Amino acid sequence: MSVLPQSVEKVINEFSKLPGVGPKTAARMTYHYLRSPNHDAKKLADALGDMDESITFCKYCFNVSDKKICDICSSPIRKRNKLCIVEEPLDVVAFENSAVYDGFYFVLGGVISPAEGIGAKDLRFKDLKKRVKQMMEDIDGKELEIIVATNPNLEGEATASYINDMFEKEVKEGTILISRLAMGLPTGADLEYADRLTLKRALEGRRSI
């Protein structure tokens, strides 16, 4: 005799699959829905079902989208000579919310991480090559700027230099310019608590004022 009804166990089991969610948290989440008087469980179920059915990946940038080509990639006002390479769709959201970038994106789908068994073949490098070629044809000989916006950690750095190697020839020819997001102290940071690498990068990247 199991204490919990099977349908409840099933929901707990599904929630436990989420990264960082253990069985206790999953149970708590499930009980929230059992206690909720306004059928929140049904609402979440419907939302998830809709998402599962409607969501696809943009064939240009591989961001999540409900269209074959997303709103950004089909926008006529976006700069056609800039491509920002990010790890995840949420990174695109971060850029868009801060309204500091006006070019296109490319979502790699992660970073090279030998520790987690993620190699170059698990990421969208082939599609990236294709997209870059396409953009180069589109701007017809003008310089394409690739901004590598992977996270400032070991894996992000390794992935950035992999991308650098990929386009070595084009960079030498001057048809592609590859840049990396600046590293240094974040706004509001306290020098006292900055780690060594951040301080090193902040010094290296110092600018005259």
Exactly one of 22, 40, 142, 161 binds its own copies (CB under 8 A); that residue is 40
SS3 state of residue 106: strand
Three-state SS at 200: helix
- Minimum distance from residue 152 beta carbon to its own copies (Å): 18
Tell whether residue 47 is a contact of its own copies (CB under 8 A).
yes
200 binds its own copies (CB under 8 A): no
Token pair of 156 as six digits:
């992000």
Side chain identity, residue 82: K
Nearest to 127 by CA among 108, 111, 112: 108
Does 130 participate in binding its own copies (rule CB under 8 A)? Answer: no
- Sign for the CA dihedral angle at 117, 118, 120, 121 comes to positive
Is 69 a binding residue for its own copies by CB under 8 A? The answer is no
What distances in angstroms separate CA 11 from CA 15, 139, 184, one per listed residue?
6, 50, 44
Q: Enter the tokens of residue 161.
A: 């230099």
Judged by CB under 8 A, the residue of 66, 102, 138, 143 near its own copies is 66
Residue numbers 89-128 binding its own copies by CB under 8 A: 89-90, 92-93, 96-97, 109
Return the number of the residue (40 or 168) whose C-beta is nearest its own copies.
Answer: 40
What is the contact surface with its own copies in residues (CB under 8 A)? 1, 3-8, 10-11, 13-15, 17-19, 21, 27-35, 39-52, 54-55, 64-66, 71-72, 75, 88-90, 92-93, 96-97, 109
